[in-house]
Structures are given as C-alpha cells and as structure tokens.
Amino acid sequence: MTPDLFDALEDDALPATQPLAPGAVLLRRFARPRDEVLLAGVAQVIAQAPLRHLVTPGGFRMSVAMSNCGGLGWVSDRSGYRYDAKDPESGRPWPAMPAAFLDLAATAAQAGGFEGFAPDACLINRYEPGTRLSLHQDRDEGHYDWPIVSVSMGLPAVFLFGGGRRSDKAQRIPLAHGDVVVWGGPSRLHYHGVLPVKEGVHPLTGPCRINLTFRKAG
C-alpha cells in the first residue's frame, strides 16, 4: 500500500502537541491509550439512546448520525437548535456520561491549558464515508467560559479550523485515530467543520469515524 498523509500521522516522531491558534491545540494520539474503553462507553450510551439523524430548523436531514450523554444533550428539529435534559425520542434523561469520558475530557482540557473542565454534555457523532460537517460555531451553550474538547476515533478525517468569521480562511488539519482538539478562550467561537470522510475500514470502528465533543452547556 502506498503511504499517504494519514499513514504519516501514525509516526510517533510527530510532535504530540500542535498549536492551532491562541487557545486552540491539537493533541496527537492523546486518546489512543484508552480507545477501547472509550468505544465501550460509546456502545453503552447508544444502546440506551440510539444514534439518529436529526433535522435542521430548515427541514434538512443531517448526514451525521448523533446521540448524547450527560446531564444535557444537543438536539435539533424544526423549532431550532438547543440543549435538552431529556432525549426527545424516549422522553427519558440522556444516559449518564461514562467515567472514562469525564476523565479524558478533563485531562485533555488541562493539557490544552484549561484547568477544571467538567463537561455536562457529550455529543456522539458517527461519520460514514462521504459524511461531512459544514463550517459552524458552537454557540448554543449560551456562555463561552469553557473550551470545546473534540475526540476523533476510527477513520481519519480532515478538520477545518477557521476564525471568528465564516469568511476567514480555515486550516485543514488531518486527524487520525486518538487525536484530540481543544479550543477555548480567544478561539472558543471559531468556525470549524469536517471535510467528507474517505472510504476505509478501521480495526476498532469499522467503516466509520466516531467523534466525541465535550461541552459545558449548563
């Protein structure tokens, strides 16, 4: 097999920490030592709150399949984007956030320069080949004192990290299994997204990418 950019990302000689912008950092391979326990947590959550394709306020079906865990879950429908303490499909509270999730989010935030991060919301996204996420800001939390912690597992992807305006040029950042991006402070409202995921099969996730996004929403 001909090596490509993502093969290079497996090289342990690459720097473990890559600054992206003030308040934003890429932590390469940070989640890899605990990937199996994290994926077991994902399976536990989606057994209680199955992945689903939400609908935007404009009536469009999202291509990324989603679920949530923690005290609050991010949801979308024709009435808008928001956080809710209950799963709208079941009427029950979202599953509790696994301890491994909380520990990873706190230690990654600390490594990124943000002490004391205790997320109350974790959005689980499943990206199948061809799935993408357009540039957007995470604004629904209503306050921006805490960072976003985003964990990539499974198939590689290219993360887009822009500026405070949609028109700002976005960096294209290749992400491999176990990479974590943390952004907050002056970068908290920067636009970000994901280019279409390429075809492939990962030993732990199969033909998909799993992303965990931790936030303090309450």
pLDDT at 15: 79
pLDDT at 3: 33
pLDDT at 13: 62
What's the mean pLDDT in 115-130?
A: 98
Residue-range domains of the chain with CATH: 16-215 (2.60.120.590)
**Residue-averaged pLDDT of the chain:** 94
pTM of the model: 0.93
Half-sphere exposure of 198 (CA within 13 A, CB side): 11
- The answer to whether 194 and 135 are in contact (CB under 8 A) is no
What's the mean pLDDT in 141-162?
A: 97
Q: Is 211 exposed, middle or buried (0-12, 13-18, 19+ CB in 10 A)?
A: buried
User: How far, in whole angstroms, is CA 213 from its chain's centroid?
Assistant: 3
CA dist., res. 94 & res. 118, Å (int): 17
